[in-house]
């Protein structure tokens, strides 16, 4: 049976942002952030949807949303500064619903936004980082790391080469987990099912 998400709007001052919310019965929740707004990134991206579905199956409330200037969200692109405010606003919205944001999950630009939150969200214990574009965006410095950090990347991803990631990970988190999806590029495409399986393995192995 398909999971029912509802369209919601919440404040990220001075704008309202558009999101898709799934409410689970338990307290745990995840905020999921999307790829770069200037290159077509938005909350209905297939990887973002796949992340939401995995979390939903595991009993989390999920909120995926459009950053400012995307879709029905107000405002304009803000070079990551306002987008970090948007991620905080999404977590605050879930908190007002009685949910605890234990996880942040971000794909590409969204991963960069999440890793750069400073100060970090105090309730977050795990970040799931998918295809961080380390050759195109500055991922240093990373804010104080959560208890757990899992980085998932395709072995054909030209924006996130494995050698570069392996050099960066110790600076991001002393015990970061690197998971490689064989045959996948930055967009995953036909490898989306393998990405989904890898995300589910990360969440169930380390819960």
pLDDT tens, position by position, 92-113: 999 999 999 999 999 999 999 9
Instruction: At 178, list the tokens.
Output: 């690197």
| pLDDT (0 to 100) of residue 188 | 98
What's the number of domains the chain is made of? 1
In sequence order, the β-bridge partners of residue 15 are: 12
Residue 97 domain flag: yes
**Residue 178 within a domain:** yes
Could you list the pLDDT tens digit for every one of the 207 residues in the chain? Answer: 567 999 999 999 999 999 999 999 999 999 999 999 999 999 999 999 999 999 999 999 999 999 999 999 999 999 999 999 999 999 999 999 999 999 999 999 999 999 999 889 999 999 999 999 999 999 887 777 888 999 999 999 999 999 999 999 999 999 999 999 999 999 999 999 999 999 999 999 855
Q: Is residue 120 part of a domain?
A: yes
| pTM (predicted TM-score) | 0.96
Position 205 scores a pLDDT of 86
- 1 Cα distance to chain centroid: 25
Q: Is residue 1 part of a domain?
A: no
Instruction: Judge whether 29 lies within some domain.
Output: yes
Question: What pLDDT does 3 receive?
Answer: 73
Tokens at residue 203, please?
């969440």
- Which long-range contacts link 170-174 to residues 24+ away (Cβ below 8 Å)? 171/140, 171/141, 171/142, 172/115, 172/139, 172/142, 172/145, 173/142, 173/145, 173/146, 173/149, 174/145
How would you classify the pairing of strands 6-12 and 28-33?
A: unpaired
Which residues share a beta bridge with 64? 20, 32
Going by C-beta distance under 8 Å and a sequence separation of 6 or more, which residues neighbour residue 97?
A: 23, 61
Q: Is residue 129 part of a domain?
A: yes
Residue 93 included in any domain: yes
Q: Residue 153: what pLDDT?
A: 98
Q: What pLDDT does residue 145 have?
A: 80
**103 domain-assigned:** yes
Residue 146 sits in which domain range? 6-205
Give the CATH number, domain containing residue 65: 3.40.50.1820
Residue 168: the pLDDT is 94
């Amino acid at each position: 049976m398909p999971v029912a998400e509802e369209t919601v709007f919440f404040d990220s001052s001075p704008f309202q942002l558009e999101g898709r919310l799934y409410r689970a019965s338990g307290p745990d929740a995840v905020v999921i952030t999307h790829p770069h707004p200037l290159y077509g990134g938005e909350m209905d991206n297939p990887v973002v949807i796949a992340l939401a579905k995995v979390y939903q199956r595991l009993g989390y409330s999920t909120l995926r949303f459009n950053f400012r200037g995307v879709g029905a969200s107000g405002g304009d692109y803000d070079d990551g500064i306002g987008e970090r405010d948007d991620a905080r606003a999404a977590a605050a919205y879930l908190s007002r619903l009685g949910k605890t944001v234990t996880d942040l999950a971000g794909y590409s630009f969204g991963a960069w936004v999440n890793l750069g939150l400073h100060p970090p969200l105090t309730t977050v214990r795990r970040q799931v980082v998918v295809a961080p574009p380390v050759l195109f965006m500055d991922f240093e410095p990373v804010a104080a790391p959560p208890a757990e950090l899992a980085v998932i990347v395709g072995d054909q991803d030209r924006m996130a080469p494995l050698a570069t990631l392996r050099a960066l990970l110790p600076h991001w988190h002393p015990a970061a987990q690197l998971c490689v999806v064989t045959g996948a590029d930055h967009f995953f495409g036909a490898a989306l099912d393998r990405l989904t399986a890898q995300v589910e393995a990360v969440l169930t192995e380390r819960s």
